[in-house]
Structure 1
Amino acid sequence: MSLLAGTDTRTPAPQATEEFAARFGVALDDFFRTRPDVDAARELAGEVRALVLAGGKRMRPAFAWWGWRAAGGEACGDAAEATVRALVSLELLQCCALVHDDVMDRSATRRGRPAVHEAFAARHRRHRWSGSARHHGDCAAILVGDLALAWADDALVTAGLPAAALRRAWRPWQEMRTEMMAGQHLDLLATARREGSLEAALRVASLKTAAYTVERPLHLGAALADAPADLIGCLREFGRDIGVAFQLRDDLIGVFGDGAVTGKPVGEDLREGKRTPLMAIAVARATAAGDHAARRTLLRCLTGVPITDETVAAVRALLVDLGAVEAVERLIDTLTASGLAALDRAAVDEVARTHLKRLAARAVHRRD
């Protein structure tokens, strides 16, 4: 049984969650309303705004907010309002990551709508412009992601933070951006080198997703509140483990999720040949069992060649039969336990601890 069993994963303390969501929504709207209006950039800006406002779990700013609160940051007042505005940066950083990731993975959809590169490519074809529609779409999407990254910096530095707070936040912000890019690079290398070890896959998960989803947002929020080093250490350890568990859950959803809920086709991770811990475990188990047919079927999904619906169904069945799904669930539980133990060592009040546990439950038990 999960250590977070019984925790309401849908509404982490409803009133406080709704209050923060409302305040954050206002901050997002205010930020977009004050962006420079440059004619040539309007299409790019529109894509950033549409993707950010299309949905998403807002998990990164939520973790950062409760990192702020855990370190003694007040719920209301000028400092709190500046902090909320600063956390808009995290959604823009996420937008950059999603747009560029979709180009690299050749993903067709994102949040139930065409991926940015697909939207621009379709426009190119519709107007019968010269050159390659695919190349045009990729180039435009790179610019959209770059604009989101530039605006992420803008959101942080123009939020009205005191100079001292901005200086404290700048280091985790720098590290988070670099770690995110490093994780994506490792992911590209793993595919090119056909690396299939669980260790390599978990390293990618830690840098590509966990660091900028949970660990560094917590660090950012706590730094803004001038948290002591020992508290930041506990929060980062909690965030690192919960962040990897979040990615492992994402891997399961990417294979077994409901497309109507996720906004992506069923089994898209398999079609994209993602080298996830889930697949690493399955290949290792098939190899150890001497099941060459199962190993060939699994490896076919990692070569980048087009695969059929029948292959997707066969691989999904193998992931269950080989015990890979069960092994990932156990790993999620192990990481959750380790993360919660780190949080229990942190000197935070019970309100913040409760909210962080609820956010952790939401991260590791979600379905979208």
Structure 2
Amino acid sequence: MAEVSAKREHHSRLTSEIDEVLRDMLHRGRNRLTTYGSQMTHVWDLTVSCLGGGKMLRPRLLMDVFDALADDKRETFNQLAEERRRAAISIAAGVELLHFSFLVHDDLIDDDLSRRGKPNLMGSLLNEISGAPQTTSDDREQQLHFVRSVGLLVGDQMLSAAHQVFARADLPQDSRLRLLDLLDHTVTESCVGEMKDVGLSDGILASGLAEALETTRLKTATYTFEFPLRAAAILADAPPYVERSLSRVGRDLGVAFQLQDDLLSAFGDHTVHGKDAYSDFREGKQTPLIAFARDTPQWPDIGTRFGAADFNFQDGTRTSALLRECGAEEFVRGMIGELFGHVTTIVSTHIVKTHPHLARCVMDLAGSLEGRAS
């Protein structure tokens, strides 16, 4: 119990450290906009209010791994540890800025005006302008065009701000360039993954299990897990084999994490996981769960309502039952188990002997993700 309490306190302190630096970055971004008038600063403030208060999963992953690596090389890293840790906190905050950018662009791509049951940036802005006395219902399309344009441009601003953080990091040139290359790789793979996801959902790309899994890796694993883990290795000046091992760990944990999300959407309690009930079915998401089901006798019954605009809760419960019946749920749970098994093998084979603190950190992370309900 004491260990759990200590971990919570550590994570709370870590989140506060990152949040302080992030707030400073966002404040500087706002200051740059004051030259252009109050409307621009208002949009920035609205963006920050809509995006703030998240779990900071990616920045905390980065710092947990960095601190573990620093503990493993304390004797040789001591003089540089504090200086590098300040740089790592800054990069962690930059990772959250990148996350903000992706969230805004995601909502734009999905044509969403809300996130987690609340108006997002575009929804909040639309509520403001549609309530103005001079507007009428006929202005709806113009209003939507405006808020979507704002979403695109603000997302671009956040992306640029994230690049600035990496480019200006107080690090040796080699480390900074490696981080910038990693950032470029991450943005590229995330964009490719998003394009594939949209192409699959819209029926432009041929759906199949291999394509669905590759989309999951590109869209989620690279940016949510592999990116912060590899960044931590670069910041801690870890040996190349450690970065390679963390890359594989991040890829496997990231795919497992997204597969868990797919299962939660299909079979979980929406009052616990917080997502709109059966939203993946309603949106026609081509997940590995669905890709497996397409090759089963139950697919004609599933496909009848899958992706329907008026997909309802009853449709969802029936689809869930059919996905269980055809073996899709069991198949995906089996894949998740294999991925967690791969992580254990990587840690025991390549990490634990030389980096025991890192090994424990990775296994604690895997343990916190396995069997999650939200």
Gap change, CA 1:142 and 1:315, over 3 Å in 2: same
Structure 1 contact 93–149 (Cα < 8 Å) conserved:
yes
Counterpart selection for 1:66 from 64, 67, 78: 64
What residue in structure 2 maps to residue 3 of structure 1?
A: none
* Counterpart-to-counterpart distance in 1, 2:164 and 2:5: 31
Q: 1:83 Cα deviation (Å)?
A: 0.8
Shift in alpha-carbon separation, 1:264–1:118, aligned structure 2, 3 A? farther
Aligned counterpart, 1:115: 120
- Residue aligning to 2:214: 203
Partners of 2:268 and 2:153 in 1: how far apart? 30
1:311-326, aligned counterparts within 5 Å? Answer: 311-326=315-330
After TM superposition, give the deviation of residue 46 of structure 1 in Å. 2.0
Equivalenced residue count is 352
1:59–1:345 distance in 2 versus 1, CA, 3 Å: farther
Q: Distance in 2 between matches of 1:257 and 1:108?
A: 24
- Which one is further off, 16-25 or 255-264? 255-264
Change (3 A) 1:194 1:313: farther
Distance in 2 (alpha carbons) for counterparts of 1:106 and 1:100: 10
Aligned mates of 2:346, 2:5 — CA distance in 1: 23
- Is 1:320–1:326's contact at 8 Å kept on the other side of the alignment? yes
Kindly indicate whether structure 1 or structure 2 has the higher relative contact order, using CA contacts under 8 Å at least 6 residues apart: 1
* Aligned residue runs from structure 1 range 166-245, under 5 A: 166-191=176-201, 192-193=203-204, 195-245=206-256
User: How far apart are the structure 1 equivalents of 2:248 and 2:5?
Assistant: 24
Kept in 2, the 8 Å contact 1:99–1:142? The answer is yes
Aligned to 1:306, what secondary structure does the other structure show?
A: coil
User: Per-residue deviation at 1:15?
Assistant: 4.4
Q: Identical aligned pairs, as a percentage?
A: 27
- Match status 1:360 vs 2:366: yes
Taking structure 1 as reference, are residues 222 and 250 closer, same or farther at Cα in structure 2, changes over 3 Å only?
same
Alignment-derived partner of residue 282 in structure 1: 293
Q: Distance in 2 between matches of 1:160 and 1:300?
A: 56
Residue of structure 2 aligned with 1:17, choices 11, 16, 22: 11
Unaligned runs of 5+ in 1: 1-7, 287-293
**AA matched with 1:244:** V
- Secondary structure of the residue aligned to 2:295 is helix
CA spacing shift, 1:300–1:114, aligned 2, 3 Å: farther
Contact 1:279/1:298, CA 8 A, preserved across alignment:
no
- More displaced, 226-235 or 131-140? 131-140
Shifted more, 229-238 versus 354-363: the winner is 354-363
Give 1:1-368 correspondences, 5 Å limit.
13-37=7-31, 38=33, 39=37, 40-55=39-54, 57-72=55-70, 77-127=82-132, 128=135, 130=139, 132=141, 133-191=143-201, 192-193=203-204, 195-286=206-297, 294-303=298-307, 305-347=309-351, 348-368=354-374
Matched with 2:74 is: none
**Judging changes above 3 Å, is the alpha-carbon distance between structure 1 residues 11 and 338 closer, same or farther for their aligned structure 2 residues?**
farther
Query: 1:11: how far off?
Result: 7.5
Distance in 2 separating the partners of 1:162 and 1:26: 24
Following superposition, the deviation at residue 87 of structure 1 comes to 1.0
Check whether the contact 1:234–1:345 (CA below 8 A) recurs between aligned residues: no
**Change over 3 Å in CA distance of 1:259–1:115 after alignment to 2:** farther
Structure-1 separation of matches of 2:5 and 2:324: 30
Q: Judging changes above 3 Å, is the alpha-carbon distance between structure 1 residues 363 and 255 closer, same or farther for their aligned structure 2 residues?
A: same
Equivalent pair of 2:175/2:235 in contact (CA under 8 Å): yes
- Normalised by the length of structure 1, the TM-score is 0.86
Which region of structure 1 is more displaced relative to structure 2, 112-121 or 254-263?
254-263
Aligned-partner residue type, residue 166 of structure 2: L
C-alpha distance 259-144 of structure 1, shift in aligned 2 (>3 A): farther
Maintained 8 Å contact 2:19/2:93: no
Which structure dedicates a bigger proportion of its chain to helix? 2
Q: Kindly tell me: are residues 220 and 90 of structure 1, through their superposed partners in 2, closer, same or farther at Cα, counting changes over 3 Å? A: same
SS at match of 1:77: helix
Root mean square deviation of aligned Cα = 2.5
Distance across 2 between alignment mates of 1:47 and 1:204: 31
